[in-house]
Amino acid sequence: MLSHTAQLAHRVWSYVDRVGSFFSVISPVSVALFASVVIVAWFVSSSTWQYYRLRHFDGPLLAKISNLWLFRSVDSGRSYLDFWEVTQKYGTIARVGLNDLVTDDPVFVKHMCNVKTEYRRSSWYDGMRFNPTSNNCLSTRDEAAHSALRSKMAAGYAGRDVDNIESKMDNNVRAFMGLLGRYADKKAPVDLGRKVQYFTLDCISDIAYGAPFGFVETDTDVYEYIETTEKNLPMVMVVTVFPWLLRLLNSPILKGLLPSAKDKLAFGRIMSIARDVAAERFKPDVKAERDMLGSFIRHGLTQTESESEILLQIAAGSDTTASAIRSTMLELCANPEILRKLRQEIASANIAGDVITDSEAKVLPYLQAVIKEGFRIFPPIAGLMSKEVPPQGDTWNGVFIPGGTRVGYSIWAITRRQDVWGEDALKFRPERWLNISSDKLKEMESTLDLIFSYGRWLCLGKSIALIELNKVFVEVRFRVALRKLTANCVFVSHSSSGDSTLRCAIRISLTRYSTTASLPNHKSGWMSQEQKRRNEDMFIVGMME
């Protein structure tokens, strides 16, 4: 036995020796040349093979033979439009990369995402790891681990064992209105797009772990969080299509470029807040809180998991709702007749307190139609969110999709399909949701719901987002004063901010307007403070850019 091992060792050694002497007689230039040839040959053969696998799907030529089309599109910040155009031009499942397809078929998306699906999250989700060293619910691809995490957080997200979600939101609505009021009193221009994000960040931090960050109170981009996430989002989106970049960035040499809890500002600072908040909750004998984090911990979330989930709540729960609020507000400003109808409904609504409750808002049909139409015309998350086809492959509408292919969906295309929304699908028209058959309404609602994903991966924060929107469009009671303004109302999507969520700057000027004097209650002198506040509006009186 021993002599056998010795013989083997001898053979290995003589092989190494021969390879060594081969390289000692050839020059470094030849070695480099040889290596380049091997790399090019590998690249060409693997691209050819990849091209061949998905050759039956049409798409832009560059996307069929390389990943350059996808890179260029995602890096440009306009991939939501590219994916839409591609599905229009090349068919309902189109090719956008060597191993990437995109679809605009809502039924196929439901097939990929339903609770019993064999599809899995693809490497696209590696880019959603906000803390470079640990996963969160959104970046977790292992399905057993993902379901376990979701079940620990389901009750908290549904608000089942959490106190005061609504009253905390109301406080944040009041603070937001106070901030806008201060600008109105100063007659200073304000970027409504930015202030809306202050509001959503404060809201989510308050309900998630008990204290607003203080964006609205200080009227500043606390810790430069917004500025840096806007700057870094394009990189995040590039990582979703080239996940190996994450491994590269995590290497010891480049690790310094990633955010860290040691940073004083930006995302790193939020990471350290998350770490401190989680550590506080896991101190011995600490009182169990009745907020969302408290609920997660009661259901078994560990300290490390808590840190990651706090970050996810902030990242997933602020930009999304902010996008929905500002895009819908822009549409309201640009469509005075729709704004008038909404205001009319609010004026005759039965609202008991100074901030509308979720249940009061849910029964206002025009408000609900405005919210849905806002989501439809401007879905807040427009990334591919690709799922991976199961190893044995799948056949959809008679076409075989090989196992391991990444299939994403273009939500922008889905919410513009004429067969679902009608010929005027590009128009913001809340009326399309009213006075239609219950079957049509069901079809439209279940298609729109895809903006929150579906089934196994349905957004956990959906009901929280809806409460926020139900309040904000009622409480920010804008009247648009100048027709000129409406002509200037356009979406400004900062191309530098990537494409997962879109931002718009809305530079406006506000002035106060009170309807109190014209109300009978005012004359009889017993109007409550709340009612007075409710009857104070703000005009948008101009747009700076």
Report the interface residues with ligand HEM, using CB under 6 A. 137-138, 150, 204, 312-313, 316-317, 320-321, 324, 380-381, 385, 451-453, 457, 459-461, 464-465
Per-residue DSSP letter, 123: G
**Phi, psi (deg, nearest 5) at residue 395:** -115, 125
Torsion angle of the four alpha carbons 525, 527, 532, 535, in this order, in degrees rounded to the nearest 10: -90
Of the two residues 209 and 457, which places its CB atom closer to ligand HEM in the complex?
A: 457
Of the two residues 41 and 300, which places its CB atom closer to ligand HEM in the complex?
A: 300
Q: Are 307 and 296 in contact (CB under 8 A)?
A: no
Query: Which residues are CB-contacts of 394 (< 8 A; sequence separation ≥ 6)?
Result: 118, 119, 400, 401, 403
Write out the DSSP string of 9-61.
Answer: HHHHHHHHHHHHHHHHHS-HHHHHHHHHHHHHHHHHHHHHHHHHHTTTS---H
Alpha carbon distance 339, 332 (integer Å) = 5
Alpha carbon distance 136, 312 (integer Å) = 7
Of the two residues 69 and 296, which places its CB atom closer to ligand HEM in the complex?
A: 296
Query: Which residues are CB-contacts of 222 (< 8 A; sequence separation ≥ 6)?
Result: 213, 214, 215
Write out the DSSP string of 142-178.
Answer: -HHHHHHHHHHHHHHHTTTT-S-HHHHHHHHHHHHHH
Of the two residues 41 and 145, which places its CB atom closer to ligand HEM in the complex?
A: 145
Which residue type occupies 384?
L
For the bound state, the minimum distance from the C-beta of residue 101 to ligand HEM, rounded and expressed in Å, comes to 16
Angle at 484 between CA 373 and CA 181, to 5 degrees: 75
Rg of the chain taking only CA atoms, in angstroms: 27
For the bound state, the minimum distance from the C-beta of residue 324 to ligand HEM, rounded and expressed in Å, comes to 4
For the bound state, the minimum distance from the C-beta of residue 159 to ligand HEM, rounded and expressed in Å, comes to 10
For the bound state, the minimum distance from the C-beta of residue 313 to ligand HEM, rounded and expressed in Å, comes to 5
Which residue type occupies 494?
H
For the bound state, the minimum distance from the C-beta of residue 47 to ligand HEM, rounded and expressed in Å, comes to 29
Q: How far is residue 284 from each of residues 175, 278, 280, 302, 307, measured CA to CA in Å? A: 35, 13, 9, 14, 18
Of the two residues 313 and 335, which places its CB atom closer to ligand HEM in the complex?
A: 313
Of the two residues 130 and 539, which places its CB atom closer to ligand HEM in the complex?
A: 130
Of the two residues 317 and 430, which places its CB atom closer to ligand HEM in the complex?
A: 317
Q: Which residue is nearest to ligand HEM (CB)?
A: 461
Of the two residues 137 and 364, which places its CB atom closer to ligand HEM in the complex?
A: 137
For the bound state, the minimum distance from the C-beta of residue 333 to ligand HEM, rounded and expressed in Å, comes to 20
For the bound state, the minimum distance from the C-beta of residue 151 to ligand HEM, rounded and expressed in Å, comes to 10
Of the two residues 312 and 330, which places its CB atom closer to ligand HEM in the complex?
A: 312
For the bound state, the minimum distance from the C-beta of residue 100 to ligand HEM, rounded and expressed in Å, comes to 16
Q: How far is residue 153 from each of residues 145, 456, 468, measured CA to CA in Å? A: 13, 14, 20
For the bound state, the minimum distance from the C-beta of residue 329 to ligand HEM, rounded and expressed in Å, comes to 14
